[in-house]
Amino acid sequence: MRRALLAQARASAELGSPMYAELLLRAADEPDAVAGVLGDRTGTRHILGMLGTVHRIVLEGRAPELAAHYPTAGGTEDPLRAWPAFRDVLAGHAAEIREGLAEPPQTNEVGRAAPLVGGLLTVAEAAGLPVRLLEIGASAGLNLRADHFRFLYEGGAYGPESPVVLADAWRGLPPVGAPLAVAERRGCDPNPLDASSPDAQRRLLSYVWPDQAERVARLRAAFEVAARVPAEVVRMGAADFLDGLAPREGVATVVWHSTMRAYLSRDEAARVDRGIEEAGAAATAAAPLAHLSFEGRDASRLDAVQVVTLRLWPGGERAVLGEAPAHGLPTTWL
């Protein structure tokens, strides 16, 4: 447990959350304080689940002493001194926090739109067709609206005026001159969230690290975009959602996902890959199919550096387009 907590503390520091890095370092020094919550569940998803569930309790107003250290709850006390109050919440809400570990974190990180849209522009340039966008592990479907975000890069910007502005989105450039039009946007998730629901918004916010003001602002801005851009997200596993997948004449069908393969069982991941391969084999120039992903190099863990990978049929050759930190910003195009 101590090794796992220290590893996640390092990852939190690398990804820009001194608060979570400090909390996890303190937890590693006092493993008994988290043992009653984590038990033998020490994977990244479980540690993030613990942090997220505590954050949700804070956002619901049920931990005022700890809330004083959380900027997302209006707290003004030093976030790096939150450990004693955090430890008290672990003890007082242990059963609820253990229950929260059963569900995967629902991050729906808006910053991951940077690698995804860059890859989508690559598809649009190659295909010259409108896009039929399908997302697996879509959570609340915020990134299904990513073509309505604005991306800033050195010397320019891409996308419409938008509440969501991704600063320093790209190092190097994807093909920003490609005509991109999204004709359909659908996704799936085992536990989809309604982006218009205050409860769902609070759940999504709970998985954003509370001392990362830019991520918090991006998420809240994405709720505004979701309110005016429709997208359907159905309650379904990834493999079932892709069952019967086929290319469609006159559109480029794009299956995309980000930081979700680690949550699939080996069997489901194999079914997903098989479904995409079979659909790709039926693709033509008039009905192309693409598989676009932003995932860790090792899909069994949530790496700090992830790669943007594209397979485009006909052909289906694999190309690594770029890489980025796990939250997507900045994306460096290769």
As averages over each run of 10 residues, the pLDDT of the chain (334 residues) reads 95 93 98 94 92 97 98 97 98 96 88 98 98 97 98 97 98 97 98 96 96 96 98 98 98 97 94 98 98 82 80 97 95 97
Q: Residues 194, 80: one domain?
A: no
Predicted pLDDT of residue 302? 53
Predicted pLDDT of residue 305? 86
Q: Residues 122, 26: one domain?
A: no
Predicted pLDDT of residue 183? 98
Instruction: Let me know if residue 16 belongs to a domain.
Output: yes
Predicted confidence (pLDDT) per residue in 194-209, tens digit: 999 999 999 999 999 9
Predicted pLDDT of residue 298? 67
Q: Residues 43, 74: one domain?
A: yes
Looking only at the bridges linking them, the beta strands covering 150-153 and 156-158 are: antiparallel
Q: Residues 63, 120: one domain?
A: no
The residue out of 68, 100, 132 marking a domain boundary is: 100
Predicted pLDDT of residue 303? 54
Sign of CA dihedral 313, 315, 318, 320: negative
Q: Residues 185, 328: one domain?
A: yes
Predicted pLDDT of residue 304? 67
Q: Which residues in 8-17 are b (16+ Cβ under 10 Å) and which e? A: bbebbeebbb
Q: Residues 140, 31: one domain?
A: no
* Domain limits for position 8: 2-100
The residue out of 54, 81, 100 marking a domain boundary is: 100
Instruction: Let me know if residue 306 belongs to a domain.
Output: yes
Cα–chain center distance at 182 = 20
Residue pair 192/304 in contact by the 8 Å Cβ criterion = no
Q: Residues 77, 40: one domain?
A: yes
Total domains in the chain come to 2
**pTM higher than the cut 0.85:** yes
**Tally of CB atoms within 10 A around 157:** 15
Instruction: Let me know if residue 105 belongs to a domain.
Output: no
